[in-house]
Amino acid sequence: MKRLNPYLTGGITPDWIDYLIAFQEAGADAVEIGLPFSDPMLDGATIQQASDQALRRGVTVASILADLTAARDRIRIPLIAMTYANLVFRGAPAHGGGPEAFCRRLADAGVSGLIVPDVPVDEADRLDEAAAAAGIDLVLLAAPVTPGDRLAEIGRRSRGFVYAVSVMDTTGERALLAETAAPLARRIKEVTDLPVLIGFGISTPAQAAAAARAGDGVVIGAALMRRVLDGASPDDLRAEVAAFRTALDQVDQEMPVARAHAEISGDRR
């Protein structure tokens, strides 16, 4: 089944957990929880605005994890935290800081995955060990310009799935799926058996379907957060995510036909 991982900025509104539950009810396979940071270098204007709104509300990592802990009996799908190295590595271990303590706090709140885009694979040893010790899957990212040897290392060391960054840019809505998305997904699949989820710029159910035909699923972020910033309710977002779910399910229904055609043509990829 093609995977749907919508993104939600933690604490974006006082009732942000209701959006998380709405995503779950709409058929999300997991939800990526953004831990707001003041300098989100990978994120475009919409996610930056969402983070700023959360920070203005006084949201912290501790408050987000407390909200998740309080809602654990309502949450049935995996949660993946997305944040930046500054938040993960700050503080000395002797004072309850560093990646070891950070990952334990995630696990205690029911989070099972972690994405830290500004920690490159060749500098990820300590974070990798800390995540593994806490039972957290450290998800690594690959980009269209990632060279083959580095791509193989990412495929070997990522856990849960590989995040395919579809375009060399920040997050944000786009009119068309990037032409680099499908070739990148194919390259990643050559070096790992992990699912490949495509993100960055996937803004419509049609784009999600196109991406899912190349990969194993999608991450949807800015398109959803823009709706929340514009005042859309959890019910509104449930309908939005359900439309993405329907599009991916339709791709699943196509796949047996696609495989049969591939065998007839002699394509053995």
Among residues 29, 32, 128, 240, which one is catalytic? Answer: 32
Residue 131, phi then psi, degrees to nearest 5? -65, -45
**Which among 24, 30, 78 has a CA at the least distance from the CA of 199?**
30
Q: Where are any strands of DSSP class E within 10-56?
A: 31-34
Question: Is 43 marked active-site?
Answer: yes
Strand partners, 115: 82, 139
**Which among 23, 155, 121, 145 has a CA at the least distance from the CA of 80?**
23
**Which among 22, 8, 6 has a CA at the least distance from the CA of 237?**
22
**Which among 87, 74, 157 has a CA at the least distance from the CA of 116?**
87
Among residues 15, 25, 43, 254, which one is catalytic? Answer: 43
Which active-site residues does the annotation give?
A: 32, 43
